[in-house]
Amino acid sequence: MKKLTLGIIAAALSLSAAAQTSEPCGFTKVLDYYRNADPTFQQRFEETFATENRSASKSTGTIYRIPVVFHVVYNVAKQNLHDSVIMNQLQILNQAFRHTHSDTDKLRPMFKPLAGDAEIEFYMATIDPDGKPTTGITRTQTSIVSFADIVNDPTLFNYMERVKKSASGGIDPWPTNRYMNIWIADLEDVTYKQPVLAGYATPPTNPIPPNWQGFQWPPLGDGVVMHYQVVGNNNPHKAVSGHAGRNCVHEVGHFLGLRHIWGDPQDPADTCGSKADDGIADTPPQAAASDINASDCTPYANQNTCGAGMPGDMPDLWENYMDYSNDKCQNMFTVGQTTHMRSILTNQRVTLTYPLAVSDYTLADETFDIYPQPASNTVYVQYDGVIKQLNITDMMGRNVLSFTNNEANVKSYDVSKLSTGNYIVSLQTDNNIMTRRILIQR
């Protein structure tokens, strides 16, 4: 995420008490985590950009709507943000992704043709995974003072991921293939009393490939995590003056497949090279993040870190949500970025957009049954129509089994390779998506 002047502690490397400024967004650390976990991750991540058409396209008129659940995990009262702050953050998300906020006119004229309406909207979940009414906000008081401890956890995630687990002081996610989970908690370092990150999000990696099974680093829980002080622009405990609630916009951009606008190059010497590109054709090359400490947009005015003076080169696009520029300066996604996010919502995150995706029950008058409950090695589906596809996902939203076409219509399925636990079975027909829960027990 961005623009919080962070004191990430140098003790992570030297065990000294010195502090230094670090990235406010944890996305590069998320990528490093996945690269360490799976040597094939980088290639597959690159392919999400390479295999999709990055050319600018006009709006389609189809609005993708994503149900959101905010999990507020607090230790003291000030961290238990009021509903009004969370609803304000939801409004900011919708304005950003529809390009309807009041400061769109501040975009420099040369970039106005590039600004895109993603036609993506977010709404508070109204039905929880058990089919009960909900406000879309959960509240959990925890004994954990802070979920960040860079001295004892230099990787950051072993401690911060606790917020996603009830057993470790946080709260379990709602099924991540049906809801966008956003956790709000204290990410201040317990020793140095400064926020380690303003937030982080997981990229769309599902389905997890078979070679991930059994590796030593567990996949990060899918979703978005935000430091409580950067949520909303009406937050009474806001971290910095002028904060406008756009950190969450940045993180949701990552959740929907966007990189930082400078491309997060692994090679520091390749800041303007081909490997430093963000994979989006209409974002100008940029060598590094814009200054996160700037109090306004003035320092960025003539910034051009790649290709200055070359024919057709454009200056850095510091108005972009995927930069680290000041909240006051950010006001757009490019058409190419919106195209990419929409592509993600028809592929890796397609189940988030299914009609009435907040329900774990039938989505229309159709129904199907799955038995036995619990199951051991085989499950059976009773459904009178033609099954187009059947997917089985775990409770973290990871696809673990898929059956399509003729394979799906045998209506008996081998689940012997699944571990004991709860799973969600999604049955897709030509007109509907239906889901049921299944317990595998041996």
Active centre residues (catalytic) = 251
Contacts of 202 (CB under 8 A, 6+ apart): 30, 220, 221, 222, 223, 224, 254, 255
Assess contact for 44 and 205: CB atoms under 8 A.
yes
Tokens of 245: 């609630």
- Location of structure tokens 């299914």: 354
Given the DSSP bridges, would you call strands 8-9 and 19-20 parallel, antiparallel or unpaired?
A: antiparallel
The structure tokens listed for 2 are: 């961005």
Determine the 3-state secondary structure of 230 from DSSP.
helix
Residue 219: DSSP 8-state: P
Report d(CA 223, CA 257) in Å as an integer.
Answer: 12
Which residue shows structure tokens 């596809």? 389
Going through 358-431 in order, the beta strands assigned E by DSSP cover 369-371, 378-382, 389-394, 399-404, 412-414, 421-428
Task: List all residues 6 or more positions away from 119 whose beta carbon is below 8 Å from its beta carbon.
Answer: 59, 60, 61, 62, 63, 64, 98, 338, 342
Q: CA nearest 344: which of 248, 258, 433?
A: 258
Q: Of 172, 198, 174, nearest to 185 (Cα)?
A: 198
CB burial class (10 A; 0-12, 13-18, 19+) of residue 71? buried
3-state secondary structure 287-335: CCCCCCCCCCCHHHCCCCCCCCCCCCCCCCCCCECCCCCCHHHCCECEH
Torsion region of 61: left, alpha or beta (phi above 0 gives left; psi -120 to 50 gives alpha)? left
